Amino acid sequence: MTTFSKGLEGVVAAETETSYIDGTAGILEYVGIPIGELASKSTFEETVFLLWNRRLPTKTELASFTSELRSRYELPEGIAGRIKHLPKDAQPMHMLRTMVSALAMHDPSPNDNTVEAARDKSLNILAQAPSIVACFDRHRRGEEFVKPDPSLSFSENFMYMLNAKKPTPAMARAFDICMITHADHGLNNSTFAARVIISTLSDVYSALTGAIGSLRGPLHGGANEGVMRMLNEIDSVDDAEAYVMGKLERKERIMGFGHRVYKAKDPRATELMALAKQLADDTGNTDLYLKSHAIEEIMEREVASKGIYPNVDFYSATTYHCIGLKLDLFTPMFALSRIAGWAGHVIEQLGDNRLFRPTVNYVGPHDAPYVPIDQR
Ligand code: CMC
């Protein structure tokens, strides 16, 4: 018996202990802990440990995990050198995908797929991907690279390497909350891509490289950049109504709304909305928040009955803007965080692997004649 579901909607393709989503009730949990609890009480490092070990760490375990992560911030010389030769107008997601793939060439045993080796490689990628993004951004601005500072957390160190200035505690915490809320999300498209690739027993680098390629699509992680472009196109709060209604009439999509799984408000959007408001007020971007809020109200009135609500990307755009990130770094930020989830799923897949190999309904002709080329 085979069934066909376009876009694999409703198909259960794996079992996981990492994250749970109830799309009707608007619930997201990592290993059973509600996302709101983690966003308000945890750190990104602790969240990564949780996703990779499916339990919270003890104090000693967290200290050792954190110090291991910090000891790996520095890029191999060959990677830093390659970044200096990249085209300055390269798109950051293409750059990140390429450089994460290149990390495999600096690993003496890139194909080791034991669960222990997969954790080790994942930790390297998690520690070095932010350094890759920060160094590339400095390269394209013609600035010297900033050496990582192992006394800083994941979020602080990234912002320090990007700006050559330590972030304020409030900015670092806001960034950390973004990292926590984007870290994992069931069998989303990029996580599925990672699991599919590792199921061939290829290697962790290939799995995460494929996942980055998937994430950049505008229907997935690329939507946060689309949201920002939309906010820039709307001159003032008063213009939001005409803008949104025009798009809906033309059957165009409003970026940052709708979700394959959620038919209620994405709980990550609830967390990020509060953060976006606070940061917008603190950084003189209240207008941006007010425009977002107006769009949400119009969408609620027009399409909530179809189960279309804000998703994670909607308020993350305002949040990243207020943190001072350039528009084309928004999706790379999503990737830096989601490495945690991709790796968690890759580790899980390797622990109980079976090759992914679905079937396809052939709908073409049969027994067709081979027509010689000069008669076609
Ligand atoms: N704006 C307007 N209408 C929408 C939207 C939207 N953002 N999303 C869905 N719809 C409508 C769609 O036009 C269709 O209407 P109708 O039945 O009248 O033709 C209906 O809702 C169902 O759409 P669908 O494309 O079949 O639903 P899907 O489950 O395949 O799509 C989605 C999910 C995320 C691709 C879609 O909602 C979308 O394109 N959203 C905008 C892009 C976006 O924000 N993506 C980020 C997703 S969350 C983070 C992540 O996963 O990375």
Q: How does pLDDT run across 22-81, given as a tens digit for each residue?
A: 999 999 999 999 999 999 999 999 999 999 999 999 999 999 999 999 999 999 999 999
* Rounded (10°) CA dihedral 338, 339, 343, 344: -30
Domain segments of the chain as ranges: 35-217+327-351, 223-323
Q: Over range 94-113, report the average pLDDT.
A: 98
Active site residue 220: yes
Identify the pLDDT of residue 187.
97
Count of beta carbons in the 10 Å neighbourhood of residue 173:
16
Give percent of the chain with pLDDT exceeding 70.
Answer: 100
Measured from the CA of 9, which atom of ligand 1 is nearest? 29
263 Cβ inside 6 Å of ligand 1: no
188 Cβ inside 6 Å of ligand 1: yes
Q: How far is the CA of 308 from the centre of ligand 1 (A)?
A: 8
Superfamily of 223-323 according to CATH: Cytochrome P450-Terp, domain 2 (1.10.230.10)
Residue nearest to atom 40 of ligand 1 (CA): 258
Q: Which of 259, 266, 321, 345 is catalytic?
A: 259
Q: How far is the CA of 57 from the centre of ligand 1 (A)?
A: 37
**Tens digits of per-residue pLDDT, 346-355?**
999 999 999 9
Please give the structure tokens belonging to residue 96: 């990140």
Tell which residue, 18, 17, 28, 4, has the closest CA to residue 259: 28
What's the fold here for domain 35-217+327-351? Citrate Synthase; domain 1 (1.10.580)
Identify the pLDDT of residue 3.
86
Amino acid, single-letter form, for residue 67:
S
308 Cβ inside 6 Å of ligand 1: yes
Measured from the CA of 247, which atom of ligand 1 is nearest? 2
pTM of the entire predicted model? 0.95
What is the distance between the alpha carbons of residues 10 and 258, in angstroms, rounded to a whole number? 16
